[in-house]
Amino acid sequence: MLMGVMAVGLTLYGLLTRQLDGRAGKHLLTIIVVCGGLSLCIIGWFASKRPKPEVFLKASQPDKPWLWREDWVAGRMANSWLRGVFFLWLAVIVFDLVCLVAVGLVLPGVRFGHPLAWLSLLFPVIGLAVTIFAARTNRTWGQFGRSLVITSGLPVAPGGLLSGEIQVPVRLRPKHAFYLRLSCVRRTTALRGKNRVTTEKILWQEEKWFHPDLPQVEAGATRLPVFFKLPADLPESTFEKGDGVQWELEAHAKVSGPDFQGSFEVPVVKPVVDPAGNPEPAVVVEASDPSQKYQLTLDEIRKEIRSRIRVVEQPEGREFIFPAARNPGFAGGATVLFLIWIGAVVFMLANRAPLIFPLVFAAVGVLMGIFVSDLWFRRSRVMVTPAQLHVVTAWLTLKKETIIPVGDVASLKADIGATAGHAAYYDLRLKTRKGRELVLAKHLSHKPEADWLIRQMVGVLKRGAGEGTAKLQAPSARE
């Protein structure tokens, strides 16, 4: 680490005095990268050697993984969203130093206006962005890092209830609403060529919105009610490190200063009958949701998310209008990634990389471009009557029309389509009795609205005559 610091100092001195040539700079840059990597390895090794309470709990309860963590044993779930702040800062500092040195070595040898000069300016921009992110993360950790979920029902069983409250050690006054989301995510690592790629797939997700003026029992603290019904057909948690299934409860609120964010890992375990005949954990079932009276109505949720989807009552039925570019944040982020990807292809071509690399990257870029175009330009109209569904999907001047008689409709549902982290975007899908699938609308940003739209469509279809329409099921609505 000391050598890396000295190399950084020499590099900065050489850049400022313009006494650093390309060869020496490359050697110093190599030293910085190697020393930074070794420092991370050494710190990680010492951290792994420290005795942890989880090790002793695991040894004492090898068959009960939900007892391997002290917070779970105490009926609590600690905030895990902001773990590893120290390692985040270390990685950011190393990345920023490498960007600084790399730009200092590249720019002096490139004439102004050259594409390589403009491309090299991306590195300090990215470095500034990750530094701002680390600063915001550090500030949020100091303010909300001690948040806890208190519940008496750990672990939770599939088909059971997650019931309790989130305790925040400061008084939160959100600008609009409290947002809670429970997700079941499967993490998978695959070997692609020589690289290991980890992907996450959201298997299930539920969300709730609460009024900002929740009743509080403490002057300097905030308590958020938690109540989620888990599906019975989803897998239990994977407690070992690596691939597997993770259940996560997330909370968010926009407040003055850093926004409140919390992430809590939920232990979900299938009931196991012990030799004495007692199931562990027990499946807890309650009839009513005690947090229901604090939740926002659907109209309030749609106002909160600034929904641009319109439902128009027509003499013959209901018309559902899904305009283009409904999610500018999602579309904008995907566009930035697409432009960075295209920039990488241009960089390869400018530096005459082996042709196979720009071709492969360009092929992936085409797929990314199609996805980005779909986010910005896809629009659709769905006219639902007791007799049929008339679906019109358009991209700029291209248009496609489909008519499905009500007797051919087998099911209507909202499925998870695209994802961005743990944020899911839902597609409204229709399945016919012959097995054909039709996408009515894509990229709906929140499940309550997607379920409500399905209920509205099914309600119109059930007005039609025929035995088939009576079998259509819609997601349950909150009264």
pLDDT at 35: 56
75-79, 205-209, 332-336, 474-478: least confidently modelled range: 474-478
pLDDT at 456: 92
The structure tokens 């680390």 sit at: 134
Q: What residue type is assigned to position 305 of the chain?
A: I
Q: Which two tokens stand for residue 128?
A: 């500034």
Averaged pLDDT for residues 53-78: 75
Alpha-carbon span 416 to 212, nearest angstrom: 28
- 193: pLDDT confidence band, cut at 50, 70 and 90? low
Nearest to 308 by CA among 323, 320, 328: 323
Alpha-carbon span 137 to 172, nearest angstrom: 18
Please provide the DSSP assignment of 371-425 as one string.
HHHHHHHEEEEEEE-SSEEEEEEEETTEEEEEEEEGGGEEEEEEEEEEEETTEEE
Given a cut of 50, whether residue 51 has pLDDT beyond it is no
Q: Which two tokens stand for residue 190?
A: 């695959």
Given a cut of 60, whether residue 198 has pLDDT beyond it is yes
The residues, any chain, with a CB within 8 Å of residue 48's CB and separated by 6 or more, are: none
98-102, 257-261, 303-307, 314-318: least confidently modelled range: 98-102
Please provide the DSSP assignment of 212-267 as one string.
TT---SSTT-EEEEEEEEPPTTSPPPP-SSSSEEEEEEEEEE--SSSPEEEEEEEP
Given a cut of 80, whether residue 201 has pLDDT beyond it is yes
| Domain extent listing, the chain | 1-50+83-142, 145-296, 311-323+376-470
146-155, 166-175, 243-252, 313-322: least confidently modelled range: 146-155
pTM of the model: 0.74
- How confident is the model over 326-381, as pLDDT tens digits? 989 899 989 999 998 998 888 888 888 888 888 988 999 999 999 999 999 999 99
pLDDT at 273: 57
- How confident is the model over 242-275, as pLDDT tens digits? 789 999 999 998 888 778 888 899 999 987 655 5
Nearest to 419 by CA among 186, 189, 134: 186
The winner for highest mean pLDDT among 99-108, 166-175, 213-222 is 166-175
311-323+376-470, CATH topology level: PH-domain like (2.30.29)
Given a cut of 80, whether residue 91 has pLDDT beyond it is no
Averaged pLDDT for residues 133-138: 72
**Equal fold, 145-296 vs 311-323+376-470:** no
pLDDT at 393: 95
- 476: pLDDT confidence band, cut at 50, 70 and 90? low
pLDDT at 194: 62
Given a cut of 90, whether residue 97 has pLDDT beyond it is no
Averaged pLDDT for residues 404-414: 91
Domain 145-296 has CATH 3.40.50.300: no
